[in-house]
Amino acid sequence: MAQNTVEKTPVTMLGLGAMGTALGRTWLAAGHALTVWNRTPARAAALATEGAKVVDTAAEAVAANTLIVLCLLDDTSVDEVLAGTDLAGTDLAGTDLVNLTTSTPAQARARAEWARERGARYLDGGIMAVPPMIGVPETGGYVFYSGSRNLFERHQETLSVPAGTTYVGEDAGFAALHDVALLSAMYGMFAGAAHAFALIRKEDIDPAALAPLLADWLVAMAPAVHQTADQLRSGDYTKGVVSSLAMQVAGTPTFLSTAEQQGVSPELLSPYFELMRRLLAEGSGEEDLTGVIDLLVN
Ligand code: FVH
């Protein structure tokens, strides 16, 4: 009986660190032929046993397939692999480059231009997942993509194998910008959580008891970003205010005194409080904290 099989797009992976290996594993498991290259060959051994074809040079890996996925440490390593000696003289015309290496927006745009000059199509990606989330859809991990919409649509099915896909525009820098925006917010959250744990550090309070309270509170407060967005769009920072800036600034000495009493440095909180005070001094007491955003933008 004839089998109804559609050949899946073969993929080349450049970079087999923790993330590159996790990505490659999902393509193999989904039945995609996978060609891999890594600067340190030993790191390819695991995927080789799972069916990947390991090649000796980046140039061989690029020549093997049309769809090339890069997941390297940083933009400098991408430079070394793509623009450096490994690929010198390799014809990239007709190649589809998908770069999942964390970059700045400017680096992503420069890379897109670099690819265009060589006749390659380019998509940039920002991974919103850690390696254990790759290939596990219920974890909610996904990747931001930006650059050529045609290229994204052509490969969307293949790119959806390791994680969800969210396309954010033709500007190649937008995936990186979204990635860095979300991760920056994450670091702000981590900073707040670090201060909270520091406050109880010397007390007879189990950090494991505080953790669920903290997590629930952060989740409860997270929807506030929708009101911020609404205020930014309308330009009316008094819209829907529940806790005015004036009231919140009045509360800041309590936070700073508590930190002092607990022997905790205020260095994570103080910069934000300083911006709040500046905003109040400008006469924004009846507003939300949204004006802080405008103070940050040069
Ligand atoms: N792992 C994570 O939690 C995060 C989650 C969000 C996205 N990031 C980004 O993903 C990129 C790769 O991260 P990774 O976790 O795979 O990183 P490593 O395990 O450290 O592997 C790095 C790979 O890059 C290769 N490499 C480094 N420098 C060079 C170079 N000069 N020339 C060629 N390859 C280079 C390295 O090769 P080797 O050390 O094994 O020879 C690995 O393949 C990254 O942008 C994260 O920000 C991950």
Instruction: Kindly state whether residues 152 and 183 are assigned to the same domain.
Output: no
pTM, two decimals, is: 0.93
Instruction: Kindly state whether residues 147 and 62 are assigned to the same domain.
Output: yes
Identify the domain boundary among 139, 171, 203: 171
Q: Is 262 helix (H, G, I), strand (E, B) or coil?
A: coil
* Atom 3 (ligand 1) nearest CA: 130
Query: Distances in Å between the alpha carbon of 140 and those of 129, 178, 187?
Result: 8, 16, 19
**Amino acid, res. 190:** F
Identify the pLDDT of residue 89: 65
**Amino acid, res. 8:** K
Strands in the chain per DSSP E: 11-14, 34-37, 53-54, 67-70, 96-99, 121-128, 142-147, 164-167
Instruction: Kindly state whether residues 17 and 153 are assigned to the same domain.
Output: yes
Identify the pLDDT of residue 88: 60
Instruction: Kindly state whether residues 137 and 218 are assigned to the same domain.
Output: no
Sheet holding 67-70, edge to edge: 53-54, 34-37, 11-14, 67-70, 96-99, 121-128, 142-147, 164-167
Region 111-139 average pLDDT? 95
106 inside domain: yes
Identify the domain boundary among 171, 193, 226: 171
Out of 23, 25, 73, mutate this one to test ligand 1's pocket (max ligand atoms within 8 Å of CB): namely 73
Q: What is d(CA 275, CA 280) in angstroms, rounded to the nearest whole number? A: 9
**Which residues 6+ apart lie within 8 Å of 66 measured at CB?**
9, 10, 94, 95, 96
* pLDDT, tens digit (0-9, with 9 covering 90-100), for 161-207: 999 999 999 999 999 999 999 999 999 999 999 999 999 999 999 99
3 inside domain: no
Instruction: Kindly state whether residues 164 and 25 are assigned to the same domain.
Output: yes
Percent of the chain with pLDDT over 70: 96
Atom in ligand 1 nearest the alpha carbon of residue 84: 32
2 inside domain: no
Number of domains, the chain = 2
Instruction: Kindly state whether residues 149 and 280 are assigned to the same domain.
Output: no
Region 58-83 average pLDDT? 93
Q: What is the DSSP pairing of strand 34-37 with strand 96-99? A: unpaired
**Weakest-pLDDT range from 56-60, 107-111, 186-190, 203-207:** 56-60
Atom in ligand 1 nearest the alpha carbon of residue 101: 45
Instruction: Kindly state whether residues 182 and 167 are assigned to the same domain.
Output: no
Identify the pLDDT of residue 82: 83
Region 277-281 average pLDDT? 98
Region 199-226 average pLDDT? 98
Instruction: Kindly state whether residues 18 and 131 are assigned to the same domain.
Output: yes
Return the ∠ at Cα 126 (arms to 226 and 190), rounded to 5°.
Answer: 55
28 inside domain: yes
Mean pLDDT of the chain: 95
Atom in ligand 1 nearest the alpha carbon of residue 39: 41
Instruction: Kindly state whether residues 101 and 123 are assigned to the same domain.
Output: yes
59 inside domain: yes
Instruction: Kindly state whether residues 161 and 203 are assigned to the same domain.
Output: no
CB atoms within 10 A of CB 87: 20
For the cut 90, the answer to whether the pLDDT of residue 226 exceeds it is: yes
Identify the pLDDT of residue 176: 98
For the cut 80, the answer to whether the pLDDT of residue 86 exceeds it is: no
Instruction: Kindly state whether residues 49 and 157 are assigned to the same domain.
Output: yes
Q: Is 201 helix (H, G, I), strand (E, B) or coil?
A: coil
Which structural domain, as residue segments, surrounds residue 236?
178-297
Instruction: Kindly state whether residues 34 and 167 are assigned to the same domain.
Output: yes
Out of 72, 184, 186, mutate this one to test ligand 1's pocket (max ligand atoms within 8 Å of CB): namely 72
Q: How far apart are the CA of 70 and the centre of ligand 1, in A?
A: 10
Identify the pLDDT of residue 1: 41
Protein residues with CB under 6 Å of any ligand 1 atom:
15-20, 38-40, 43, 71-74, 77, 80-81, 101-102, 127, 130-131
Q: How far apart are the CA of 16 and the centre of ligand 1, in A?
A: 7
For the cut 90, the answer to whether the pLDDT of residue 3 exceeds it is: no
Region 110-117 average pLDDT? 93
Report the CATH number that the domain containing residue 284 is assigned in CATH: 1.10.1040.10
Q: How far apart are the CA of 275 and the centre of ligand 1, in A?
A: 36
